[in-house]
Structures are given as C-alpha cells and as structure tokens.
Structure 1
C-alpha cells in the first residue's frame, strides 16, 4: 500500500487506441475529457500532466467522416493545457492471410487482404514514460492501457527510478504481465466515463465547435 502523507505528483500516460477499444467503442462516452476522468478517479493524487498517445485515422468507405470527428476531438483535448497529444502513424500494406472460415484440401484458403496497423503509440508512450521518470517529473505514473508490451518500461520506472505505478484499466481483465508491477489498479467503468465528458459546445482559439453528432 502507498502512504499518502501528501498528494503525489502524478503524470498520466494514455494509450488512446487501447482506451478506445477497451471501453469506448460502441459506447456513448467517446467525448471524453481524460484529464477530468483521472482527477475523478485519483482524488488523492496531484494530477499535473497527461500525455495522450494515438495516431491520425483515415476516411473509410463506410465512415468517411471519421477523420473529421477525430480532429474535433483533438480540438477538445487542446483546450486542456495539461494535455499533450503525441501522434504515431498507420501502416497499410497488402498481405496474404488464411481465411478461418474457408477450408480446402486440408488447409485454410489464403486470401489477399489489406492490413492496417497502428505504429508508434506504444513506443512513444514507453519513451516518454522513461524520459519523464529520468527527469523526475512525477512521483507516480498512471498508465491507461492493458498492453503487456509495456511491461519492461513500467518495470524500469518502478524498480530503477523508484516511482509509484498505477494502472487505470480500460478492459475487463488486467494483463497478468502488468498486474505485479502496479502499486494500484482501478477499472474504468461506464459511470466514471459518463461523469468526465466534455461540454457539447466548446470554444478554442479558432472559435466555437460542437461535439460530433454521431458521438
């Protein structure tokens, strides 16, 4: 257990896609203020900064407005001075993969498909987590992700730099690789998401803008 004689200087590291696919996709809480969410979930911590790691999405035939919604969300994040957005990228390439639903002559039928992978977010998160630890920017690092690939950098921050580690878990189960590294783990539930929404109408240096209608 951690002692809270005084509020711990806390920085938040958000894996945007892990958060989205873990608890936002198909839900009505996408207009999320992640800084407010963390303040609500960590009332005994002094939440000083939040780094949000994601990548720009592209239009799809079935969802041509997807990039517009994302840019509007970036505008909302930009109204919070304590939030920094770090962008990775998507890599799209053609590959041949077996079709699990098609079986012929003792093997799955190969299909030529377009594969899109998000690149950079986990590496960027790990890099900034370690950099901020080396620069003594926090007493406690809180990671919003359930990605076991973050095991090594989190372990270094805890054991080499002697920092407290928290995980706000966006998924149903906690990664068994991350569980033993955390001083505390909290689930992100629908009620907490609903209580941390941006206003429907917002204003930034460019002017007024609205929450996307489909959100």
Structure 2
C-alpha cells in the first residue's frame, strides 16, 4: 500500500533519541524496518533549526550535518518551523507547592510551526490521494483532529510509530496499528560514520 510517513522530529528526538548513541538516525531505514510490507513513497521530516547556546555552541553545526545526511535519502523532505526563545516570569516550584508565589525569570524555548506543518501536509496529501496509509511518528495529542479527519473523512489507514513509552490516549482510538520504536531498531538504522554527497565527504558528529 502506498505509504507516506510524517515525522515530528522534536517528538522523536525527546521521545527516544536524546541521551542515546542513536542520534545519527537513518529515518528511511527505520521506516523500512518497522513497515516492511509498505510501499514507502515519501517521508516528511518536520523540525526547527536550533541556535547555539553558551553551553552548546556547536549544536547548530551538528544539526546541519544531520540535515545533510537526510538529504542523501531521495524519499525524505525536510520541513522547517522555528524556535522562539524569550524571557518569561514563572513561579518557583517549591514555593508554588507551599501556597506562595515567587516569580523567577527564566529563558523559555518553544518550537513553533512543526505540528501545524505536519498537520497541513498530512491533510493536503490525503486530499490529493497521495497515499493509502499515513504513518505518524509522534505521540503529540495535538494531532488528534487532523488524524481523525484523514481516517474518517478520507478513509485512509492510520499508523503510529510511537517514540515514547506510552501511546497518547487521544491518538490511540484513531490508529489502525501502533508500533513502538525500540532501541534495537534504532541501533540497526544508523547512517555510516562517513558519508558522501554532491559536496564531498562528511562525517558523523563526534559528540554523537
């Protein structure tokens, strides 16, 4: 069956990649391993460009190297939102629990656009009859409505590849099938340490 995969990169990273040695992930190999019977026509990867911080100034370089690796995969397209970082006042947790409010100035970073972009492409591709099966790599309950429309209005099969420990109760009723992304399949779906593209040779980031 014609299959499109929609990956929430932020949800995937924080769900099963952070603090693992598997960040150099070949998402096409991952999808093929988990969906061996499917004809995977397209993989849409939704994320945002990070900025360096005083604690990790090389983070953008690692991300761009990963994007370079992803662009060697003909089935994959990258769709970028953005990060918004701003100073906000938030309550101190200990004081809050004790019935007091003490405001603390903190830097808050939010990803903007990825979930909306994913929902948009999911709906447009369904309208264009580009797939028979839509597979969502996310556990974000905000995607419930577009997934429901694609299943019930367009009659498409919905799959979820879950990057987190538990499946969202909001999403579960709309999935025809759910598969867990486990460490073993991540380990077996890595890019080679040294890669080649039209610009030349490049390497897996050393900190990964």
TM-score in terms of structure 2 length: 0.98
Q: Which residue number corresponds to residue 72 of structure 1?
A: 65
Q: State the Cα RMSD in Å.
A: 1.2
State whether structure 2 residue 195 is matched by structure 1 residue 209. Answer: no
Please identify, of 156-165 and 111-120, the stretch whose mean Cα deviation from structure 2 is larger: 111-120
CA distance in 1, matches of 2:79, 2:55: 27
Q: CA deviation at 1:105?
A: 8.7
Q: CA deviation at 1:106?
A: 4.1
Correspondences of 1:1-215 after superposition (within 5 Å) = 8-102=1-95, 106-215=99-208
Aligned-partner SS, 1:117? strand
Aligned-partner SS, 1:49? strand
Number of positions where the alignment pairs a residue of Structure 1 with one of Structure 2:
208
In structure 2, the CA distance between the partners of 1:122 and 1:103, relative to structure 1 (3 Å rule), is closer
Unaligned 5+ segments in structure 2 are none
Q: CA deviation at 1:101?
A: 2.8
- The superposition leaves residues 3-41 of structure 1 with CA deviations (integer Å, 9 ceiling, x where unpaired) of xxxxx1000000000000000000010000111100111
Aligned-partner SS, 2:45? strand
Aligned-partner SS, 2:83? strand
Over 6 Å off, 4+ runs: none
In structure 2, the CA distance between the partners of 1:107 and 1:81, relative to structure 1 (3 Å rule), is same
TM-score in terms of structure 1 length: 0.94
In structure 2, the CA distance between the partners of 1:132 and 1:110, relative to structure 1 (3 Å rule), is same
Unaligned 5+ segments in structure 1 are 1-7
